[in-house]
Amino acid sequence: MHHFDLKDGTLHAEGVPLELIADEAGTPVYVYSTATLKRHYGLLRAAADAHREALGEALIAFAVKANSNLSVLATLARLGCGADTVSEGEIRRALAAGVPADRIIFSGVGKTDMELAFAIGVGVRQINVESGAELDRLIAVAAMMGASPAIAIRVNPNVGAGGHAKITTGGKSDKFGVPAAEAMDLYRQASQSTHVTPVGLACHIGSQITDLAPLEAAFRVLAQMTRDLRAQGHAVTRLDLGGGLGVPYSGGSEPPSPADYVAMAARVLAGLEVEAAFEPGRLLAANAGVLLSQVIQINERSDGRRFLVLDAAMNDLMRPALYEAYHDVLPVTPRPGASQPYDVVGPVCETGDTFARDRALPPLEAEDLVVFTGAGAYGAVMASEYNSRPLVPEVLVEGENWAVVRPRPTYEEMLDREPFADWL
């Protein structure tokens, strides 16, 4: 569900015509819908609230890596959403956007001592520890600060899942977390230190998961570990269930609903009396954003192959090049006529800069506008200036209002960031 619809024959973001945004902000540009962000958060919040008995006052912590724009984060923060972060930069963004420290979770496989100290200093809700080596360093850092931060041990439940091998995190050979038996040892070890306070367990098995079974299997591992730890006399009050629920990228596929997902979690956790946390990224943001782009030209070959050359490229939206991800391409102002197959490409100088092959699209001409849908998560955050293309800007819409929430750098700004070495 989203708020990008045709009105009077042209695509709008809520009440704002995308043509207007393209005219004034230029293309390529990411456009986000406040109403969609709110709706997605609201659905998950309502589902969690409906299962208070099993999930406690569940925290919904948006995975900042999915979309770290400050205005997007502030929109969610105002609804009461927390933040799942993986770097000092993300913690700083969450705080700057108004997420209270006690709703910030700090995860990640390689946190530096400085990042750990920063997280302790600002008082994040919990640090998810992913290895024995990290636990040792965290205890040392916390001891120096005279602190005892709340921690969860991230379990690798040996259940991998996800839309692509590169976004599967819970498999045995994936770098994340520790196997269950080791996690039990780490929990015991942590309980003996006065410089960390173990409060629970965490897992995150992958992203773009479209089947509840692997998620349920992982949650069951955490539930059983909770019982086992308690039997050994340990307190376990929080379970962080990670993110990972998939979203529909093309009209056809229908992943499980947030309500079914939360109901499943509540079933698995029933009776444990823990406080659950969810870390959705894609679920909240993907369909709240589009990448708006203009057709530069159409290259027609004598063999009939037709290349739709856009002003957006792989540096602006990496997902197709990196994961062969599917994003719908829609004309902003559709012309009547039969669809034809196009190879949808950008101007970057490599073949990987191909968004889609043989995609059936309605008639298009140079200077037409198109959007990539489902681009609000892992879109702008993964963009780069490859080929010296200025970093793609971002726009946030709310009703009839819109604002540039990250401007496109000018060429001067892009060049001025790099001082010449003083011997040149």
Is 66 a residue that touches ligand LLP (CB under 6 A)? yes
What SS3 state is found at 77? helix
Among 51, 103, 319, 389, binds ligand LLP (CB under 6 A): 319
Is 130 a residue that touches ligand LLP (CB under 6 A)? no
Among 36, 67, 71, 107, binds ligand LLP (CB under 6 A): 107
Is 207 a residue that touches ligand LLP (CB under 6 A)? yes
Which two tokens mark 68?
A: 């770290």
**Rounded to the nearest whole angstrom, what is the least distance from the CB of residue 244 to ligand LLP in the complex?**
4
Is 212 a residue that touches ligand LLP (CB under 6 A)? no
Spacing of C-alpha 403 from chain mean position: 22
Alpha helices in 109-257 (DSSP H): 113-122, 132-145, 180-191, 212-231
Contact mark string toward ligand LLP, 220..239, x via CB under 6 A: --------------------
203 is catalytic: no
**Of the two residues 124 and 361, which places its CB atom closer to ligand LLP in the complex?**
124
φ/ψ region of 335 (left if φ > 0, alpha if ψ in -120 to 50, else beta) reads beta
What SS3 state is found at 45? helix
Residue 36 to residue 235: CA distance in whole angstroms: 38
Is 167 a residue that touches ligand LLP (CB under 6 A)? yes
Site for ligand LLP in 232-291 (CB under 6 A): 242-244, 279-283
What SS3 state is found at 107? coil
Residue 401 to residue 277: CA distance in whole angstroms: 33
Residue 181 to residue 195: CA distance in whole angstroms: 22
Catalytic residue among 181, 338, 349, 424: 349
**Rounded to the nearest whole angstrom, what is the least distance from the CB of residue 215 to ligand LLP in the complex?**
11
Which region among 58-66, 93-101, 355-363, 391-399 touches ligand LLP (by CB under 6 A)? 58-66
CA distances from residue 306 to 83, 327, 331, 334, 363 in whole angstroms, order as listed: 44, 19, 16, 18, 12
Is 134 a residue that touches ligand LLP (CB under 6 A)? no
Half-sphere exposure of 121 (CA within 13 A, CB side): 12
**Of the two residues 63 and 178, which places its CB atom closer to ligand LLP in the complex?**
63
Among 323, 328, 385, 390, binds ligand LLP (CB under 6 A): 323
Catalytic positions, written as ranges: 349
User: Which residues would be at the binding site for ligand LLP (CB under 6 A)?
Assistant: 63, 65-66, 84, 107, 167, 204, 207-208, 242-244, 279-283, 319, 323, 377-378
